[in-house]
Structure 1
Amino acid sequence: MESPSNKLNMIVIPALVSSFDRYHALSFLAVALVICALSRKYGTSIKDVPGPFVASFSSLWRVYHLMKGHSEDEILKLHKKHGHFVRIAENEVSVSHPDAVKQVLQANIAKGTFYSMFSLPDYHYVNQMSELDPTRHIQKTRNLSAGFSLTNITKMEPYIDSVLETFKTRFDELSATGSTVQFQDWFSFFAFDVLGEVTFSKSFGFVESGTDIRNAIANTGSLVYYIAVVGNYVWFHYLTLGNPLFSRLGLQPSSHIFDTCLIAVENRKKNPEIRYDMMQRWLDTRAAHPDRLSEKDIFAAAVANIGAGAETISATAQAVIYYLLKNPQYLKRVREEIDAAQARGELSSVIQNSEAAKLPFFQACLKEAYRFHPGVAHNLPRIVPKGGMTIAGKYFPEGVILSVNPWVIHRNKEIFGEDSECYNPNRWLQADIKKMDAFLIHWGVGYNQCPGRNLAQFELSKVLTTILRDYDVEMVDPSKEWQFGTRFLAVPYGWPCKIRRRQNV
């Protein structure tokens, strides 16, 4: 018979051994993590670049501030503290020197892997935004350019007008009932419907219904949040929402958009008399040059067009109205300009783009919104090519990621003046604005410039001049500031307004 002490040993000793093993395992893991962190922080060519301690060996610093919602403020503060170069990740440096716009963004060098996140609905569908290779990106741009051209957009103006007419009808109803207007919703409704008309020859019906159909806008907001955070871990995206299995099951927030694209393409095969919208232009290019443009390329372009277009329009349109309300002297001046043009008979019932283009102070207000509140609030990464790169005397070897943040560049006092942190449209009416124009990067620059910029300018000019001419707008609580969270985009919300139909127009 075993003694009590032997039985005790049989219980206690294995437990001690197990505890000892766990201790050693945890100790080994802790040591490994420390070694990894030290290696990332010091075993690199950018070890001398200042920045947050955690950012030097981990992406957690950036993820934390993305989730807090104001990463653009943190990047601005860091550049004010440390100068033109700030290390914001293990292998990434944020650059604020003006030369970076030309050397980094305008150069034909590869984009950072973050952009892979924009392949929608999954990584099989590489669009212009998600294409990392500059040569292939430029080829895609050429193949799709017919749909995005200003000439083609101008031909679509009557269909944009139809959306704007419905928009005015809804706003007249809101004015008559005294209902509260949430501009973040209505500008998104307008942009989605315009994209439906110019891409698929059919409005989605957002403005008509006054609702977020199938939660498309909410889903897009969630998708942008996901892209900003998970973009730091692209490998995880490829295992989850970026995986083709998830798209086949319809589990992504963008799945409804992809379904719409599939239906639109099938309709064209059955209806040869469809009008020449963007989709038809691309299908014609494919018919003439099947080796240059695949159906997958067309799907990818259409999905990206719908997925990316609405929220950027909403952010900019809101910025124009909001900052005019916050600066009554500018609102008075732009209203006088529009009213004078109306009195001279220079504005149609539905304002045309060519008419809005002849309103210099209005265009200055729009341009200042582009500068002061750019829709994209995320650093735009590029990979230093073979041979390295020198910016402002600082050398970076091949493989280092250099990124530029539009919010930082747009607040550079050397470029935009001492009042660069204020909304001031007058800066765009100066005799020489070429220098500022060169650094206005709200639509991106170089080969990765937003392909939909012509349409965006078109939409914004028409809808904003319409609101300023036809309606008086007042914030429900003028003392309240709007809210916005800067993930990849900076789309404001939380500033309800009342509108009244102006009687003299």
Structure 2
Amino acid sequence: MVTIPYALFLIIALFIFFVIYPSIQYFRDPKGLRKFPNMSWFSGVSHIPFIVLAHGGFRSKYLEELHKRYAVIRTGPNSLSYSDPRAIKDIYGHNTKCTKDGAYTATMGSHFHLADVVDKKDHARKRKVLSSAYALKNLESWEHKVADKTERLIAHLDKMCTAPLPKSQVIPDSKDLNVDYRAWTNFFTIDAIADIGLSERLGFLDSGNDICTAQRMDGSIYEIGFRDALYQNARKQSLLLWDYDWYPLLNKIADIIPFYRRMSEHSQNWDAVYLARAAKRLKRYQEGEKLDDFFQALMEDKNGSPNNLEWGEIVAEVSIMMNAGSVTTAIAMANVLYQLLKNPSVMNKLRKEIDSVLDKYEVVAPYDKVKHLPYLRACLDESLRLFPPTSHGLTRLVPQEGMAILDGYVSGGTSVSVSAYVAHRNENIFPQADKFIPERWLGEEGKALQPYFLAFSAGARGCIGRNISYLEQTVLLASVLHRYNFALPKPDWEMQRLETMNLILGEMPVKVWKRDVGGDDVWMDK
């Protein structure tokens, strides 16, 4: 009797499992998904095409091009991408029946945090605990922390100022491009969220780097770069996540390759970074310190009664706060200055609005003076529209009974999403969608666009830190535009972008010099 070698049997079994069976399922089409156009010819059978696309570095941009032809695209055997912003209400709205899908359980730690918890009741419980910390009224008590970080960034920019760029010159000397605005806005947001959330002064704006302490599970302490630990962890997930069932195994197998193994090491470092932050703050709490921060709201309700959360849940909430609270706002801060430098007429109009409410010698813009400036908010929102920091489609699971999305029925158990990058470039909602036009957000026309604005997601699962982000963006942008002029390396210089779980930016070198506000160089004597 002829026996088949074990290796050959394994190959045949894998071929049947990963190719033959999925192909049969594709043609059986039990969920009726074959009516939707495929992202690629193999997308209806396997997640591999989307994993390959993720390695290309900007999957949402690729989808946006495809969506110019198709309103709905099948991106995997069980996943659909929508381009029509009207689908936002169906998928993410307050009354949606959709829940977060397997992407969130595949990447969770020992405990869910607010951003990845799937169960709606558990999410409501968490949000109730945290809502007091993120409430709009708390912005008043936290503004001084944002002002402090603004002062520290300005202190650095003052040191880096060079001579004004001659009006006839558009390309600055390379030696004057001495500030990476992208890095420094990230130092700003990390320092800010550490202070707002944990009353900890990391001091990145003082040191000019992001080296911080980290704590291993055994309690030992070491030093690590905050941004490398965080960003590489997210990058690996963004490359391999898309087949949720196989992600845990694929994640481990990938570590055979040094490229992925280095990312895994950074992932462990990120765990150690936020564990150190949480442990340090817990010690202060146990010693009796009553501090006005996010951690205090985790430990006690507004009446001082203990919330009795498990330590794992507290650590998980600290991790997402340090992650989401620093990354997306920093991206937004760099993006808006970049867009303003690319559009000088918009910059001039915004500067006039800011200068009209700030005194000549005012260094840090008081939030009360600038929070209601309509053109300033319009510039922020237009930048968030054009390049949303979280650009990809946040996946949701259709309930088992199925539901209508737009005017079409989608079977239960299907993953659906709307990419913010794609939705924000829909010409029917946003004419001249590729252009930076803040005026579109003004007046009644601007209000009518808000339901299609996905930069902070939408509905009950929308970003709870939205108000803090706007506070930081508004104060910093008004302050630096009032005090400085900036120049990019050259007029046609382009920002480099890498889509991981967020739309991460490359370096942004700028020349900085002080403004001659009101015709007098008021800053020379300061």
- The residue aligned with 1:206 is 204
**Cα separation, 2, equivalents of 1:437 and 1:371:** 11
Match for residue 381 of structure 1? 395
Alignment of 1:115-264 (within 5 A): 115-116=104-105, 119=108, 123-175=109-161, 178=176, 180-213=178-211, 214-234=224-244, 238=248, 251-264=268-281
Tell me by how many angstroms 1:382 deviates. Answer: 1.1
Report the secondary structure of 1:376's partner residue: coil
Residue in structure 1 matched with residue 26 of structure 2 by the alignment? 41
Q: Is the 8 A contact 1:372 1:407 kept in 2?
A: yes
Aligned to 1:70: 58
What is the one-letter code of the residue matched to 1:351? A
Trace 1:101-112 onto structure 2 (pairs within 5 A). Answer: 101-106=88-93, 107-112=96-101
Question: Please, which moves more after superposition, 97-106 or 281-290?
Answer: 281-290
1:475 counterpart residue number: 488
Query: For the residues of structure 2 that align with 1:336 and 1:25, how far apart are their CA atoms?
Result: 70
Using the TM superposition, give the Cα deviation of residue 407 of structure 1 relative to its aligned residue in structure 2, in angstroms. Answer: 0.9
Q: Which residue of 2 aligns with 1:426?
A: 439
Aligned to 1:438: 451
Percentage identity across paired residues of the two chains: 23
Residue identity opposite 1:38 in structure 2: S
Would the aligned equivalents of 1:338 and 1:469 in 2 still touch at CA under 8 Å? yes
CA distance in 2, matches of 1:146, 1:327: 39
1:117–1:227 contact (8 Å) kept in structure 2: no
Distance 1:449 1:118, change over 3 A: farther
Aligned length: 478
Decide which of 414, 420, 436 is 1:406's aligned counterpart.
420
The partner residue of 1:306 within 314, 318, 322 is: 322
Q: Which amino acid aligns with 1:221?
A: Y
Structure 1 residue 171: Cα displacement: 0.9
- In 1, the alpha carbon distance for the partners of 2:236 and 2:85 equals 30
TM-fit CA distance, 1:450: 1.0
Whole-Å Cα distance in 2 between the matches of residues 499 and 135 of structure 1?
A: 50
- Name which of 394, 412, 428 aligns with 2:408: 394
Partners of 1:312 and 1:376 within 8 A in 2? yes
**Pick from 447, 451, 473: which aligns with 1:460?**
473
Q: Distance in 2 between matches of 1:90 and 1:395?
A: 17
Query: C-alpha displacement at 1:64, in angstroms?
Result: 1.4
- Amino acid of the residue matched to residue 504 of structure 1? V
> Cα 1:419–1:264, aligned 2, differ >3 Å: closer, same or farther?
same
The reply to whether residue 81 of structure 1 matches residue 69 of structure 2 is yes
1:29/1:327 CA distance change after superposition, 3 Å? same
State the partner residue of 1:364.
378
Tell me which amino acid in the other structure corresponds to 1:215: G
Q: Deviation of residue 359 (structure 1)?
A: 2.1
Could you tell me how far 1:116 is from its partner in structure 2? 2.8
Q: Which residue in 2 is equivalent to 1:504? A: 522
Call closer, same or farther: CA 1:478–1:38 in 2, change over 3 Å.
Answer: same
1:199 and 1:277 in contact (8 A); partners too: yes
**For residues 289-368 of structure 1, what are the structure 2 equivalents within 5 Å?**
290=306, 293-343=309-359, 348-368=362-382
1:95 is displaced (CA, Å) by: 1.4
TM-score by length of structure 1 reads 0.88
Aligned-pair CA distance for 1:282 = 2.1
Cα deviation code 1:341-381 (max 9, x no counterpart): 235x7x94321222121322111111101111111111111
TM-score w.r.t. the length of structure 2 is: 0.84
Following the alignment from structure 2 to structure 1, what is the Cα–Cα distance between the partners of residues 339 and 284? 43
- Please give the alpha-carbon distance, in whole angstroms, between the structure 2 residues aligned to 1:24 and 1:217: 45
The whole-number CA distance in structure 1 between the counterparts of 2:354 and 2:83 is 37
Which moved further from structure 2: 494-503 or 401-410?
Answer: 494-503
- Farther-moved stretch of structure 1 (441-450 vs 36-45): 36-45
CA change 1:118–1:451 in 2 (3 A) is farther
Aligned equivalents of 2:206, 2:328: Cα separation in 1: 21
Q: What does the per-residue CA deviation read over 1:468-489, in whole Å, with 9 as the maximum and x for residues that have no partner? A: 1111100123322110011221
Cα distance, 1:180–1:116 mapped onto 2, change above 3 Å: farther
Matches within 5 A, 1:482-497: 482-497=495-510
Distance 1:303 1:180 in 2: 32
Partner of 1:504: helix, strand, or coil?
coil
Secondary structure at the aligned position of 1:433 is classed as: helix
Q: What is the identity, as a one-letter code, of the residue corresponding to 2:423?
A: I
The aligned amino acid for 1:360 is P
Give CA deviations for 1:367-398 in whole Å, capped at 9, x if unaligned.
10111111111111111113211123311111
- Rounded to whole Å, the distance in 2 between the matches of 1:186 and 1:286 is 35
Residue 39 of structure 1 deviates from its aligned partner by 2.5
SS at match of 2:487: strand
The 8 Å contact of residues 182 and 334 in structure 2, kept in 1 or not, is answered as yes
Aligned partners of 2:129 and 2:297 also within 8 Å: no
Q: Which amino acid aligns with 1:489?
A: N
Contact 1:40–1:56 under 8 Å retained in 2: no
The structure number with the bigger radius of gyration is: 1
Identify which range, 50-59 or 324-333, moves more after superposition.
Answer: 50-59
In 2, Cα distance between the equivalents of 1:467 and 1:430?
Answer: 26
TM-aligned CA deviation for residue 306 of structure 1:
0.3
Select between 495-504 and 249-258 the one with higher mean Cα deviation.
249-258
CA distance in 1, matches of 2:246, 2:79: 19
The C-alpha deviation readout for 1:175-220, integer Å capped at 9, x for no partner, is 1594511122111100000011111112211101011212111221
Gaps in structure 2 of 5+ consecutive residues: 163-174, 212-223, 253-263, 516-520
In the alignment, is the contact (CA less than 8 A) between 2:90 and 2:406 conserved in 1?
A: no
Call closer, same or farther: CA 1:359–1:491 in 2, change over 3 Å.
same
Offset at 1:284? 1.7
Deviation at 1:28, TM superposition (A): 5.6
Whole-angstrom distance in 1 between the partners of 2:104 and 2:486: 38
Quick one: structure 1 residues 50 and 342, their matched pair in 2 at CA, closer, same or farther if it must change by over 3 Å?
same
Q: In the superposition, relative to structure 1, how do residues 333 and 504 fare at CA in structure 2: closer, same or farther (>3 Å)?
A: farther
